Amino acid sequence: MRLGQQRYDLVRSQSGFSVTIHDSNHVRGPQAWQLDLHYVPAETNPRPRPLWEREYLELCFQPFQYKTSDWRELTGFGPGPDLDPILFNITLGNLLAGGDSCPRQSVCPDEITITHLAGYNFRCQFSGSVVWDDREYDLEVDDEIPFAEATVDVPVNSRDVLAAARAIARREIQLADCAGQHVALKDCGEQRMFFRSLNQGHAVTLLTPWRELTA
């Protein structure tokens, strides 16, 4: 990534596409996609930052109302004729200087191109601008990014939560393979509160095999 004259190296193990698959009545729609890119300063920068200016940048893309029937078809992941740019949220933040003293900044997109390469990998090319430290900078990205995980909301009455999650992922986005999972069971006896009613199911995170294929 290039931010002005400074360059950053991708932390690939912490970066990737992810999606949460909800039911059709969810406030964010049936699918909530996100792209998180993590970066550290490149050693080739002409001006090394002082030790007290530690940086670990996160560039986050959230296209609201975006959905696809096949995870391989992410070419529409970006502002375009079918996706209102106002509903495409892009922010940049320094994870080592969080809080009110260093809030996340909104990024203005010019162009984003997603190309499926092989397996679970995509090429992400992005250009835009951001106001950082009271100055406007050009921002460019050209990196290989994996599709890392899918989280599925599973109905609480499912007999086999993991099997149900895999079936839903296969039906909704054609995700057939899984290299691991994390199951968060909902406590059905907990007190029902209004905001909890937005998500009444178990949450199952399915990890894609991208790490195994690139090892």
**Span 178-196, mean pLDDT?**
65
Same domain, 50 and 111: yes
Same domain, 141 and 86: yes
Segment 13-35, tens digit of pLDDT: 999 999 999 877 766 678 999 99
In angstroms, the Cα distances linking 106 to 61, 76, 93, 101 are: 10, 21, 9, 16
Segment 64-90, tens digit of pLDDT: 888 999 999 998 887 665 556 667 889
pLDDT > 90: percent of the chain: 54
Q: What is the pLDDT of residue 164?
A: 93
Q: Which of 149, 173, 190 is the last residue of a domain?
A: 149
pTM equals: 0.87
Domain of residue 177, residue span: 152-214
Please name every residue paired with 107 in a beta bridge, in sequence order, or none if there are none: 130
Q: Which of 96, 119, 149 is the last residue of a domain?
A: 149
For the chain, what is the domain count?
Answer: 2
Same domain, 156 and 136: no
Cβ-contact 46, 19 below 8 angstroms: no
Q: Which of 102, 125, 149 is the last residue of a domain?
A: 149
d(CA 205, CA 210): 15
Same domain, 158 and 141: no
